[in-house]
Structure 1
Amino acid sequence: MKTPSSSARRALVLASLLAASAAAWAAGADLGQAQKQPTNWTAIGMFGLFVLGTLFITKWAAAKTKSAADFYTAGGGITGFQNGLAIAGDYMSAASFLGISAAVMAAGYDGLIYSIGFLVGWPVITFLMAERLRNLGKFTFADVAAFRFKQSPVRIFAASGTLVVVAFYLIAQMVGAGQLIKLLFGLEYWIAVVIVGSLMMVYVLFGGMTATTWVQIIKAGLLLGGASFMALSVLWHFGFSPEAMFAGAVKIKTDLALKDGKTAEAAAAIGQSIMGPGNFVKDPISAISFGMALMFGTAGLPHILMRFFTVPSAKEARKSVMWATGWIGYFYLLTFIIGFGAITFVLTNAQFIDAKGVLIGGSNMAAIHLANAVGGNVFLGFISAVAFATILAVVAGLTLSGASAVSHDLYATVVKGGKADSASELRVSRITTVALGLLAVLLGIVFEKQNIAFMVSLAFAIAASANFPVLFMSVLWKGCTTRGAVIGGFLGLITSVALTVVSPSVWEATLGNPPGSALFPYASPCLFSMTIGFLGIWIFSLLDSSKRADVDKQGFLAQQVRSETGIGAAGASGH
């Protein structure tokens, strides 16, 4: 990569133009819709400061990004503490902050299934994956999955799985970003999505993993501080009594049901329902399937797995998971309080409800409105800027993992047979970044009305059904072969995507087909598609009698020694 000063200047100019155009729209465009928010200049000022700050980080990072290793993994020079905070930043996405709090506000206790599901995946990574990933991998999880197998087929599968998961995950982030900027600037939704997509491309194109990591670290600190203040403000209102907070939320839900014309008995039942299960997941199979997706999907998310290659050793990889788990667990406790706080402070405040009785900006904006309720315009500006940072950092990480799958796994390894030079690999990565940015904008516009936490759960289901089984079996089962891994992985991938498309969440809610017409009745396909993925790997490996199968099995001992001990894994750079 050439000296980046001109690149950084171009980035600054492009972002400045974007910010200027956004301000022009915000200040001068009367779009003629009664539900448009008035321009919030305090929030916009903080938003602008954050954009300038991240552009400065990008300029600094561009000066340090001189090779493919720098671009993909920050040269392996991130410490365990820094990486743990960055992983937490990656994981505390728009789905976590905006989506979970919105789900808790809507469904009460049931919304907690997201927090629990997202969190319990981390022990799987801690005890089964973190050290092995760091010892076996280089840039992507395909390096690990293909360690002892024939390279091209496994990498084609891994890149396919990565890109599908990235696409679904990007939807949630872009929807959250679009709704947030629409609320903040008073813009049309699609314009907001285009602005966010453009800024994200600037950060990834010029700053790579170094910029992405530091944006994630700073964002994680700001988000933890802001969410702590919101949760403490809610609890302070109830004398720091969770019981009083829950009782207040039940009363408000009951009162709203009465206002909607329900009988006293029915209204009381609706109010009490937020303290028990059943509002979101309707049957045991859906609950199990949904929980499996959230738990095992974590260990198959390419942008999370990629973070383990940014540290210099397996010891630092374990530290990363320890720190990340602590921060994430604390944050999810806060989102639960924020969700119940939104019932109390937001649903009863006419300022946040439009003429149709719907939350302004959509249900995903519950946390943003709560910030306004407890801290006024200044805190609203802070939380809006932090939420934008949250989305931007996660989208950048996702885009980076998708770009690395195309440039490193497909181009460098499959097309060039491992002989691609760093400059051409970086060029392909940047072209892919632009393509993924355009795809993210398009998908963000199409899925505008979806709950973003739910959209992320679909990405988790695909990751759990395709990436996780291949990674798990290739590392831990000697009998796994190239043929078994590829066929089983593709079976899990295709099944999960197909069942997702014909499920009520996409077939009815997104594609507009009539209620009850969905071919697959459950919210999440994971119970079925993950089982098919594992069975496919097992059966086709057992049936594989090719010469390649013998080579695959003979390579297991060397793989096991390296994965457990790190011998042969790392030089000073960590690669």
Structure 2
Amino acid sequence: MEVGYQIPTTALVLIGLMLSFTVVTTWMFRRQKTSADYYLAGRKVNSFINASAISSDYLSAASFLGVAGVAFLYGFDGIIYALGFFVGYIALLLFLASPLRKFGRYTVPDFVSERFHSKNARVLGVIGVLFVSLFYMAPQMLGAGKVMGLLLNMEYGTAIIVISCIITVYVTVGGMKGTTVNQLVQFWILFGAMFLLAFIPFVIKGFTYGDVVQFISEFKQIDPATGKMFDGAAYTSPAYWLTNLKDTLSLLLALMFGTAGLPHILVRFYTAPDGKAARRTVIYVLLLIGMFYILSPYVGHVIRYVYLQGKAMGLSPHLGSWLAANGKNLAVPVAGSYFGGQILMGIVVAGAFAAILSTVAGLIIACAGAIGHDLVVNVLNPDMPESTRVKVARTASIFIGLLGIPLGFLAENMQIAVLVGLAFAIAASTFFPVLVMGVWWPKMTKNGAIAGLLTGIIGSFAMILGKAYLPTMLQFKNPGGFVMLIAFAAIYIASKLEYAAKGEAALPHDTKEVMAILHGPEQS
């Protein structure tokens, strides 16, 4: 253990209480008679509870640790992530929340398959769900490993294994009901932690945003975190925005519209009682996460302000070294320790754990639905009895949960918000075009849906993992916006070609009825 390091007992106590609550809740909701109970909590979650659970699901390690971390590391440019993450919910409210709930199925592949009557579209939807969710899970495990290292001086690999096992157990046993109650509590823990992190420096210490930014803008020195000259003027101005418009626009489009394509977020709208409740839920979510995204960039800038002054601000060598080595991911817990000692550190670390637990739980439920409901039941064995379907759901949850271990190892040296941004890129280019066109364009055909899904999956895969092999003009830091536009074009062209060849026969036979359900009044 590092010399001079003390285990923050307050943090351990708070995390222990939160985990104890999780265990009790999981045990209370261990019985699920049907797959609808397991995946959707019986479709009976009220708007405020659902909004808190969705906010907890959405405010992942990327939001709780990553946004402030990017603001700490890159300054003004880090605010782009907060802006994109927030605006995405407006697109979700306008285009998808109510129609999807009115359609009344279990998962995103359900919608694609039953809207166009295609098993191939369902299988592609399952691939898309897994692709998005596993990319999203990796940075959550990264956040868990880093926070456990700061908290207990624990080895990164050990932390990944412990956290993965905890989450897998409570999701597998509690299903969506247990997960929803846990996420409700976890949201208010993480929101309260971020509120305190902003309240103490702003109100008690008097660190106004203007004073902080002015000091940083005039500061120049070698940055221990990067080994390069730190130019405060560049840090506090939108340099990246102005010098690389292509990458910035693609990133913003990915963050904004990727939100409306995230499977673990979309599935929660199926838990609402009806379309009105789904719309009301999104409005509550906008209020909750809007307040959060105002606070988190401020915290990132304030801890950079403290870091630059170092000894003059009383920053301990231990916390200074953590910021130099891991500020991109650990600015928030370090800020907690600096501004509030063990007590605030405990609350903040509990908030970070809450963010990680709730998001990974939502991802496991979404992936279990894709594997258990969409693939095993609807493609391989439609006549499977309900009791067996619940067992399949639990088995799929265990499989996905344990995948978090290798994903955490692969993500160890990456930045959380940047990695989550890539998951948003896949969601924006894979699901958002297909869902929006499927909901709002009556002349979209089965071939159009398949073309859109294939373009999104293959395009994002190639441009993220095969970036080094592409021409310079096709290399994006985040290709989501670019691939999304191509996917929209693929849907339109493929649908037009099929319609030209087959006429009205190219359209699903029940298109008018489906459109009436999606955009008509609530069904009684």
Is 1:48 the counterpart of 2:48? The answer is no
The aligned counterpart of 1:198 is: 165
The aligned counterpart of 1:475 is: 439
SS in 2 for 1:222: helix
Cα separation, 1, equivalents of 2:179 and 2:71: 30
The aligned counterpart of 1:145 is: 112
Which stretch of the first structure deviates more once superposed, 210-219 or 551-560?
551-560
The aligned counterpart of 2:140 is: 173
- Which of 52, 60, 67 matches 2:34? 67
Unpaired segments of 5 or more residues in structure 2?
none
- Structure 1 or 2: more helix by fraction: 2
Instruction: Render the CA deviation track for 1:123-164: whole Å, top value 9, x for unaligned.
Output: 111111111011003211222223331241121111111000
Cα separation, 2, equivalents of 1:426 and 1:552: 35
Instruction: Render the CA deviation track for 1:234-280: whole Å, top value 9, x for unaligned.
Output: 213553632112223335x4255599998xxx76xx11112111258
Amino acid at match of 1:564: H
Shift of 1:389: 1.3
- Which of 218, 221, 232 matches 2:199? 232
Q: Is the 8 A contact 2:264 2:365 kept in 1?
A: yes
Is 1:429 the counterpart of 2:393? The answer is yes
Cα separation, 1, equivalents of 2:225 and 2:410: 34
The aligned counterpart of 2:512 is: 557
SS in 2 for 1:497: helix
SS in 2 for 1:523: coil
The aligned counterpart of 2:156 is: 189
Amino acid at match of 2:22: T
Amino acid at match of 2:273: P
CA pair 58-67 structure 1, distance change in 2 beyond 3 A: same
Cα separation, 2, equivalents of 1:280 and 1:127: 27
Cα separation, 2, equivalents of 1:311 and 1:459: 25
Cα separation, 1, equivalents of 2:30 and 2:227: 60
Q: Is the 8 A contact 2:225 2:324 kept in 1?
A: no
- Which of 388, 396, 416 matches 2:353? 388
CA pair 344-405 structure 1, distance change in 2 beyond 3 A: same
Amino acid at match of 1:351: P
Shift of 1:551: 6.2
Shift of 1:396: 0.4
SS in 2 for 1:148: helix
Shift of 1:38: 4.2
Shift of 1:364: 0.4
Is 1:254 the counterpart of 2:208? The answer is no
Shift of 1:459: 0.4
Cα separation, 1, equivalents of 2:296 and 2:467: 28
Cα separation, 2, equivalents of 1:437 and 1:452: 19
Cα separation, 2, equivalents of 1:93 and 1:307: 15
Cα separation, 2, equivalents of 1:72 and 1:281: 44
Which stretch of the first structure deviates more once superposed, 146-155 or 545-554?
545-554
Q: Is the 8 A contact 1:249 1:344 kept in 2?
A: yes
Is 1:278 the counterpart of 2:239? The answer is yes
Instruction: Render the CA deviation track for 1:90-119: whole Å, top value 9, x for unaligned.
Output: 111110010010100011111000011111
Is 1:496 the counterpart of 2:460? The answer is yes
Cα separation, 2, equivalents of 1:121 and 1:351: 39
- Which of 374, 383, 389 matches 1:409? 374
Cα separation, 1, equivalents of 2:72 and 2:365: 33
Cα separation, 2, equivalents of 1:299 and 1:447: 24
Count matched residues: 518
RMSD of the alignment, in Å?
2.5
CA pair 180-281 structure 1, distance change in 2 beyond 3 A: farther
Which stretch of the first structure deviates more once superposed, 444-453 or 518-527?
518-527
CA pair 217-259 structure 1, distance change in 2 beyond 3 A: closer
CA pair 549-201 structure 1, distance change in 2 beyond 3 A: farther
Report matched runs for 1:107-122 at 5 Å: 107-122=74-89
Cα separation, 2, equivalents of 1:261 and 1:101: 21
SS in 1 for 2:237: coil
Q: Is the 8 A contact 2:323 2:331 kept in 1?
A: no
Unpaired segments of 5 or more residues in structure 1?
1-29, 508-515, 571-575
Shift of 1:455: 0.6
Shift of 1:341: 1.4
CA pair 555-423 structure 1, distance change in 2 beyond 3 A: same
Report matched runs for 1:58-137 at 5 Å: 58-63=26-31, 65-137=32-104
- Which of 317, 325, 330 matches 1:351? 317
The aligned counterpart of 1:23 is: none
Is 1:375 the counterpart of 2:340? The answer is yes
Shift of 1:519: 9.1
Shift of 1:452: 0.5
Q: Is the 8 A contact 1:89 1:219 kept in 2?
A: yes
Instruction: Normalising by structure 1, report the TM-score.
Output: 0.85
CA pair 111-450 structure 1, distance change in 2 beyond 3 A: same
Q: Is the 8 A contact 2:207 2:302 kept in 1?
A: no
Q: Is the 8 A contact 2:428 2:481 kept in 1?
A: no
Cα separation, 1, equivalents of 2:323 and 2:290: 31
Cα separation, 2, equivalents of 1:231 and 1:103: 16
Is 1:241 the counterpart of 2:205? The answer is no
Shift of 1:366: 0.6
Cα separation, 2, equivalents of 1:300 and 1:326: 20
CA pair 247-517 structure 1, distance change in 2 beyond 3 A: same
Instruction: Normalising by structure 2, report the TM-score.
Output: 0.93
Cα separation, 2, equivalents of 1:37 and 1:551: 68
Shift of 1:503: 3.1
Cα separation, 1, equivalents of 2:403 and 2:472: 26
Q: Is the 8 A contact 2:40 2:176 kept in 1?
A: yes
Q: Is the 8 A contact 1:488 1:537 kept in 2?
A: yes
SS in 2 for 1:524: coil
CA pair 328-261 structure 1, distance change in 2 beyond 3 A: closer
- Which of 492, 503, 507 matches 1:538? 492
Shift of 1:70: 1.0
